[in-house]
Amino acid sequence: MNNTIVTQPQALSIPMVIETSPHGERAYDLGSRLLQDRVIFLDAGFDDNMAHIIKQSLYYMDAQSREPITLYITSPGGSVHAGLGIADIVSMMKSPIHTVVLGIAASMGCYMQSTMGSKGMRLAGKRAQIMAHQVSSGTQGTLADQKISLAHSELLDEMLAREIANAVGVSYEQYKQDTVRDMWMTAEQALNYGTKGFIDGIIIGERNEDGKLLIERRGGVQEYI
């Protein structure tokens, strides 16, 4: 089967893939084609529109098979509620989730990376930057409503902090202390944080002939997965 990529002339171009087979040609937008390979690129801030697409994609792929789903994450964060909606979909799924940070996973991106990936399969590129911090409230409206919003933000912050602390292997108190301000980490620092790390391995080499990636785990242990 031969693949040809055609880029549509738009302000934000959406690549199209034309697959040629003995049965003829079929055209897909690249995102739809990647769903067949069980791949999702989360390349945006978390909002309701993005979460809507991600949740549908995850649900669809989980219904198709139980093969692993790879979620590539490049996100500065965003809406907590949008991210939690994705997290709830993942918690209902039987398919393993492999997470890979490319570039940046901050705030809700960090939460997604550290808590959603299957054991041993939370990965990051060697240039990746990961940032954890407290929930931002962004309260507005009347003083009474702002107090209600702030209390809700405090509940969200505690919930996320406890989940992340458990995922990375530190106490809730230690995690809260470390994230009083933005905590930026390189891939290596993220790997070695706590007893479990924000990631399980750093991608350090190209794919081998079997399509497996060379990664480095704690202690300098290298393997293909």
133 given a catalytic annotation: yes
The mean pLDDT value of the chain amounts to 90
Q: Which of 133, 149, 152, 153 is catalytic?
A: 133
Token readout for 221 is 């242990």
Contact 86, 58 (CB under 8 A): yes
Q: What is the pLDDT of residue 210?
A: 92
Which one has a higher pLDDT value, 200 or 5? 200
Which one has a higher pLDDT value, 14 or 188? 188
Q: Which of 57, 75, 95, 107 is catalytic?
A: 107
DSSP string covering 120-177, please? T-EEEETT-EEEE-PPP----SSHHHHHHHHHHHHHHHHHHHHHHHHHHT--HHHHHH
Beta strand pairing status for 129-132 and 97-106?
A: parallel
Q: What is the pLDDT of residues 121-155, one digit of tens each?
A: 999 999 999 999 999 877 788 999 999 999 999 99
79 given a catalytic annotation: no
pTM of the model: 0.87
Q: What is the pLDDT of residues 63-84, one digit of tens each?
A: 999 999 999 999 999 999 999 9
